[in-house]
Every structure is written in C-alpha cells, then in structure tokens.
Amino acid sequence: MKGVSCRWLVLGGAALILLPFALELLLGNGWVRIVDFALLYVLLALGLNIVVGYAGLLDLGYVAFFAVGAYVYALLNSPQWGLHWPIWIALPAGALLAACFGVLLGAPTLKLRGDYLAIVTLGFGEIIRIFLNNLDSPINITNGPQGIELIDSLHFGSLSLGQMHHVLGLRIPAVVNVYYLFLVVVVLGMVFSHRLERSRIGRAWAAIREDEVAAASMGLNTRNLKLLAFAMGASFGGLSGGLFAGFQGFVSPESFTLQESVMILCMVVLGGMGHIAGVVLGAMLLAILPEALRAAGDWEQMVFGRIWVDPSNLRLLLFGMALVLMMLRRPGGLWPSNARRNELQGQ
C-alpha cells in the first residue's frame, strides 16, 4: 500500500516537472504562462481557504492582500523608488505587510459574522484598490491608475528567472523558470496548510467555525485566533501578489477588482471548502477553463460556419451554468473532504 502511494508520488512529481516542456511543445509558450498564473491562483485559493474554509470567516475582499503584496514587491524592485531589493526581502515584506492588513481588517470585524462580515470585507477590498488608484498625489507612491512599470523580474542574486537559460543543452525559457519557482511555493503552501489544519490552532479554528459561543466558553481566545486566521490567509495573498508583480513586470489597480475576489472565493467553494486537494483542483479548473474556452470561437466557426455566441460571453455563460449545476449536484464542492462528504450524504 505504502509502496503504491510512493510510486504515485514519484510519477506525479515527474509529470509536474515535465509538464511545462510538454505544454511548450504541444501548445506553445502561452499555455505555460497560463499555468503559471493558475499556480498563483492556487496559492491565493489556499490562503483564502484558511480564512473561509478553516476559520469560517467569509471574506469578499481577499484580493486586497494580493494587491498589497504586489505593490510592495513593485515598489521595492522598480525605478519608481529606484530600489532593487533581493526577493528574499521583498517577498516576505509583502507577505508580512499583507498579514498586518489582515489584522487591520480583522480587528474591527471581530463581532461580525456571515453576510455582515462579507459586506465589510468587500468594502475593505474596494478601499485598498481605490487607495492604490489615488495615491499618486500629494506624494506619488503608487503612480495612480498608470500603475508601476518596469518591475524587476524574479531573481536570485544575479540569476534572473526572467530570461532564457540553457542547462545541459536544454532551453529553459522564462515562463518555465517561473513555473518551477511557483510550483515549489505552491507545494510548500499546501504542506503548510495541511500541517496547520491538523495543528492545535487548526482544531481551534474549526471549533470557532462550528460554534463560536461554545469555543469561547472552552477558554479559546477567539479574538486572537480569528485575527491569526486573517493574518495567515492574508500572508498567502501577499506572497502570491509579490510573485505576480515579479512575473508580470507591471502592476496597476485594475488587476485587483472585486471580480478577482469573487473568483478566488468561487475557486475555494467550487473545489471543496476546507479541503486542500479540492481547493487546488477548484483553482486550477477556474483558472484554466476560461482560457481553454477561448478556443470555442474556432470550434463554432468550424461547426456552424459563423460565430453565434461571442466566446467571451460563452465563457461566462458556461461558468454560471457550471456553478449552478455544482451547487445543485455537489453542494460540498467537486472534491470535498471525507468528513464533509459523509455529512452531506447523511442528510
């Protein structure tokens, strides 16, 4: 039994390592890039899962932490301030500041639950975006709606991930370098989430999620535990944002709209709240499917000889239908945790 799972692990690992080369050969570089972004979404979804899935705090402004991380990296690694800091400072700094913002959001909302909390967090997300949009005067910090350009690509010392490298005669383009970095971060994020879920703190979050009054009467410091959930979740968002800025080379407020927050929440819910594998699956699907559906226009052309529905509308239509169907057929998500599945079957 153990040998079998070990073999799967090795096979899966090898597949993940070879994936970018296969994609590049079969579908071109653009698809490696799409997978890179999908990995960032996975990291975001893992972070939001801590807040929503583990601690049960509905957060509709999660993208704000992504924005904070992205702008921290951008400011520390661009001509904007003339700074070029190494990523082992810039990325943790973004994650840390995002965590502080997480506490800042959490503190005034400690007594709110469910819909009310969702509304405040939604407002918070918008506030951050609007701030980024307007902090170009009186002192220019964020460069306003124009955003920050010419951000240094992710680099370790003199080794830049933003260029093509040749290793043993193998061409490794920038998107593939970045893929490996993101993959490592995502795997670490999954391991961390897994450990967290089974820890004393994870159990306490579950208790607060299930019955806050009972949890408080068991002597749990619900205030600090909820703030910790916000901070932990936010730090994932901040880290992901830093990686995004270094990869994209450009950040502007319009990348951090409410729609992104909703999308990340959909990933968590669709995949299976509180279940790491489910969340990863949800994020991958929702990040990649819309891109795949771009090709729908060609198919329509082929089958009907003309385009009946604009592919971008079709994407949204199918997306909406998928969500409705899912909620009817699999209310626990595509891949819920065992406990949740049993519970839903019992009802």
Partner 1 sequence: MTILLDIAGLSVCYGGIKAVAEVDLVVHEGERVALIGANGAGKSSTLKAVAGLMVPSSGQLLYDGTPLERLAVWQRVGAGLCLVPEGRGVFPRLSIEENLLMGAWHRRRDAGVLSDMERIYGLFERLKERRLQPAGTLSGGEQQLLALGRALMSRPRLLLLDEPSMGLAPLMVEKVFDVIRAIAGSGVTLLLVEQNARLALELCDRAYVMESGKVVLTGKADECLRDARVQEAYLGGDQS
Which of 268, 272, 282, 264 shows the shortest CA–CA distance to 343?
Answer: 272
Q: Which two tokens stand for residue 261?
A: 């927050």
Asked if 340 is part of the footprint of partner 1 (rule: CB under 8 A), the reply reads: yes
Asked if 220 is part of the footprint of partner 1 (rule: CB under 8 A), the reply reads: yes
Return the residue matching tokens 């124009």: 146
Q: How far is the CB of 222 from partner 1 (least distance, A)?
A: 8
Region of 158-166, 235-243, 246-254, 338-346 interacting with partner 1 (CB under 8 A): 338-346
Asked if 206 is part of the footprint of partner 1 (rule: CB under 8 A), the reply reads: yes
Size of site (CB under 8 A) for partner 1: 21
Q: Give the integer Cα–Cα distance in Å for 117 and 96.
A: 23
Asked if 344 is part of the footprint of partner 1 (rule: CB under 8 A), the reply reads: no
Compute φ and ψ for 335, nearest 5 degrees: -140, 75
Angle (nearest 5°) at CA 186 between 343 and 319: 60
Q: How far is the CB of 229 from partner 1 (least distance, A)?
A: 16
Please say which residue, 134 or 224, places its beta carbon nearer to partner 1. Answer: 224
Please say which residue, 116 or 299, places its beta carbon nearer to partner 1. Answer: 116
Please report, as residue ranges, which positions from 76 to 105 form the binding site for partner 1 (by CB under 8 A): none
Region of 38-46, 208-216, 249-257, 294-302 interacting with partner 1 (CB under 8 A): 208-216
Q: Give the integer Cα–Cα distance in Å for 12 and 16.
A: 6
CA distance readout (Å), 237 to 27, 218, 324, 336: 29, 31, 27, 23
Q: How far is the CB of 213 from partner 1 (least distance, A)?
A: 6
Q: Give the integer Cα–Cα distance in Å for 147 and 145.
A: 5
Q: Which residues contact 296 (CB under 8 A, 6 or more apart)?
A: 311, 314, 315
Please report, as residue ranges, which positions from 184 to 203 form the binding site for partner 1 (by CB under 8 A): 203
- Number of Cβ within a 10 Å radius of residue 280: 26
Which of 139, 119, 155 shows the shortest CA–CA distance to 261?
Answer: 119
Asked if 221 is part of the footprint of partner 1 (rule: CB under 8 A), the reply reads: yes
Please report, as residue ranges, which positions from 255 to 284 form the binding site for partner 1 (by CB under 8 A): none
Among 216, 262, 314, 326, binds partner 1 (CB under 8 A): 216
Asked if 219 is part of the footprint of partner 1 (rule: CB under 8 A), the reply reads: yes
Region of 20-28, 44-52, 144-152, 334-342 interacting with partner 1 (CB under 8 A): 334-342
Residue 9 near residue 191, CB atoms below 8 Å: no
Asked if 331 is part of the footprint of partner 1 (rule: CB under 8 A), the reply reads: no
Task: Please report, as ranges, the residues that interact with partner 1 according to CB under 8 A.
Answer: 203-204, 206-207, 210-211, 213-222, 339-340, 342-343, 346
